């Protein structure tokens, strides 16, 4: 029989990833009594096994790329060697420091934290499996911020494999690596490990990797992957994977076979809904929780945000934004927008980033548009950094000056897109002249947005 906890919380938050911990901190900041429950680790997937460790690896891969470029120009000489064990150790230290930062903010705003599996009984009760037995906690409102989990096809499960989360804990570099899935995570993994000298084969079912993006945006990354001797196989499906002594054998539906030292599966993610009540489940939409403008589900008093609601946009930055927006909406702060334009970013070489619509989406909708494109080499810093394949691509309305989409290919694309994200968020993208009237620092890659450079191109 479950023990009833006598404390009543204003909020019980299930999940301690970017959505959950930010919601907890802001609720505590507003004077709410908060309990955060996480079945795994504080910080969730993003901090422990996702964007933070992958970005740490990327920083090292980017250094190797720059070093090779300077060596080719004979500016520097000699070789550098990767000490992979130290990369792992330093990555773990960064994660540890960031987790301590979250813990500090929890203590500062009196947020209680439990590492355990939770299940919602109702909008006012949550059952938690503790080492000493099951406990039931009471609250005014429940927030589901449980994130998402990786999808692993059944045909892979008979072999040993890493996933897009566990690969960052690989204890030693293999000589060869198979990566199933040419989406964001799979492409980043292929680029990073190939930069470390690993022979990579990338398998993708679609006709192109990163199929949601326009081909001209993806092409520079494809070029770099090929320079790193990554074998890219598109339009292929994997029928089986099995261990063969010290190798993993990958069998394709077309009959081809490949042997690799290690296998990574990055085949997409699904929302974590294990905490849902067994009866009277909140309404779903295409497998994700359906919420209103205030992030409330069809069950009054049960709210949701982050990956459990963000179909096609499972981004940590969106989850954090939604968490802050929810708490401000309910506790008198400045309100944000549930339908805010969401920027994307890929930590590849070069980086890819963008916001708004793609040409693919506009063509599918039968909409007319025009393109304004400017190479990074048109800026002084682009020439200094030798950004040969970098460019800014603006997709404009056929008539008028509205920016429908902005896409950047650059060494600093994830930083440069912040300007367009600001314009989209405030509705200023409807007047392209806003960019022309902006003063950009010289020399910098951001000058690619400068009015005179755009006009000259």
pLDDT in tens, 126-136: 999 888 889 99
> Residue 368: which of 393, 395, 397, 394 has the closest Cα?
397
Contact 2, 135 (CB under 8 A): yes
The answer to whether 373 and 394 are in contact (CB under 8 A) is: yes
Q: How do residues 59-117 score in pLDDT, each as one tens digit?
A: 999 999 999 999 999 999 999 999 999 999 999 999 999 999 999 999 999 999 999 99
Residues 432, 434, 437: CA angle, nearest 5 degrees: 125
Q: What is the mean pLDDT of the chain?
A: 93
Q: Phi/psi of residue 434, each to 5°?
A: -60, -35
d(CA 306, CA 323): 8
CA angle 388, 389, 393 (to 5 degrees): 125
Give the neighbor-by-neighbor strand order of the sheet with 403-410: 344-346, 351-356, 403-410, 391-397, 369-375
Spacing of C-alpha 141 from chain mean position: 28
Residues 6 or more apart in contact with residue 354 via CB below 8 angstroms? 213, 217, 343, 344, 405, 406, 407, 408, 417, 420
Q: Please give the C-alpha separations between residue 308 and each of 17, 46, 145, 275, 323, in angstroms, as whole numbers.
A: 12, 14, 7, 11, 13
Q: How far apart are the first and last CA of the chain?
A: 72
- Cβ atoms of residues 323 and 26 within 8 Å: yes
Rounded Cα distance, 345 and 447, in Å: 20
SS3 content of the chain, % helix, strand, coil (to 5): 35, 30, 35
pLDDT tens digits, the chain, 457 residues: what are they?
566 666 799 999 999 999 999 999 999 999 999 999 999 999 999 999 999 999 999 999 999 999 999 999 999 999 999 999 999 999 999 999 999 999 999 999 999 999 999 999 999 999 998 888 899 999 999 999 999 999 999 999 989 999 999 999 999 999 999 999 999 999 999 999 999 999 999 999 999 999 999 999 999 999 999 999 999 999 999 999 999 889 999 999 988 999 999 999 999 999 999 888 777 778 899 999 999 999 999 999 999 999 999 999 999 999 999 999 999 999 876 666 667 899 999 999 999 999 999 999 999 999 999 999 999 999 999 899 888 899 999 999 998 889 999 999 999 999 999 999 999 998 889 988 888 778 889 999 999 988 666 665 5
CA angle (216, 383, 228) in 5-degree steps: 55
Q: Return all residues near 427 (Cβ < 8 A) that are at least 6 apart.
A: none
């Amino acid at each position: 029989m479950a023990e009833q906890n006598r404390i009543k919380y204003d909020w019980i938050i299930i999940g301690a990833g970017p959505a959950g911990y930010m919601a907890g901190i802001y609720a505590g900041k507003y004077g709410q009594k908060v309990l955060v429950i996480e079945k795994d680790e504080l910080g969730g997937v993003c901090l422990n096994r996702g964007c933070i460790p992958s970005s740490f690896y990327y920083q090292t891969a980017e250094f190797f790329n720059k070093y090779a470029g300077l060596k080719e120009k004979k500016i520097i000489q000699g070789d550098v060697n990767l000490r992979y064990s130290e990369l792992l150790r330093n990555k773990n230290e960064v994660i540890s420091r960031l987790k301590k930062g979250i813990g500090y903010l929890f203590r500062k705003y009196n947020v209680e934290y439990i590492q355990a599996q939770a299940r919602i009984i109702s909008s006012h009760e949550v059952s938690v499996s503790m080492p000493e037995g099951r406990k039931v906690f009471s609250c005014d409102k429940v927030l589901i911020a449980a994130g998402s989990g990786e999808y692993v096809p059944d045909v892979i499960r008979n072999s040993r494999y890493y996933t897009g989360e566990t690969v960052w804990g690989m204890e030693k570099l293999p000589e060869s690596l198979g990566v199933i899935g040419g989406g964001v995570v799979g492409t980043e993994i292929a680029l990073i490990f190939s930069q470390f000298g690993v022979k990579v084969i990338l398998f993708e079912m679609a006709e192109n990797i990163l199929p949601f993006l326009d081909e001209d945006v993806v092409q520079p990354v494809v070029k770099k992957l090929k320079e790193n001797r990554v074998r890219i196989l598109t339009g292929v499906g994997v029928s089986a994977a099995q261990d063969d002594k010290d190798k993993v054998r990958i069998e394709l539906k077309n009959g081809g076979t490949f042997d690799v030292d290690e296998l990574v599966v990055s085949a997409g993610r699904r929302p974590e809904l294990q905490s849902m009540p067994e009866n009277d489940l909140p309404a779903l939409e295409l497998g994700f929780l359906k919420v209103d403008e205030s992030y409330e589900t069809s069950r009054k008093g049960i709210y949701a945000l982050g990956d459990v609601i963000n179909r096609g946009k499972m981004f940590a930055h969106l989850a954090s934004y939604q968490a802050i927006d929810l708490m401000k909406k309910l506790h008198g702060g400045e309100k944000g927008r549930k339908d805010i334009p969401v920027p994307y970013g890929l930590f590849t070489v070069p980086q890819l980033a963008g916001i708004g619509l793609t040409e693919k989406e506009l063509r599918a909708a039968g909409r007319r548009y025009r393109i304004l494109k400017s190479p990074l080499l048109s800026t002084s810093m682009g020439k200094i950094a030798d950004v040969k394949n970098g460019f800014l691509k603006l997709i404009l309305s056929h008539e008028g000056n509205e920016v429908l989409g902005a896409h950047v290919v650059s060494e600093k694309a994830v930083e440069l897109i912040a300007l367009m994200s600001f314009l989209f968020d405030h509705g200023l993208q409807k007047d392209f002249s806003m960019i022309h009237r902006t003063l950009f620092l010289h020399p910098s890659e951001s000058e690619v947005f400068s009015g005179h450079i755009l006009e000259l191109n």
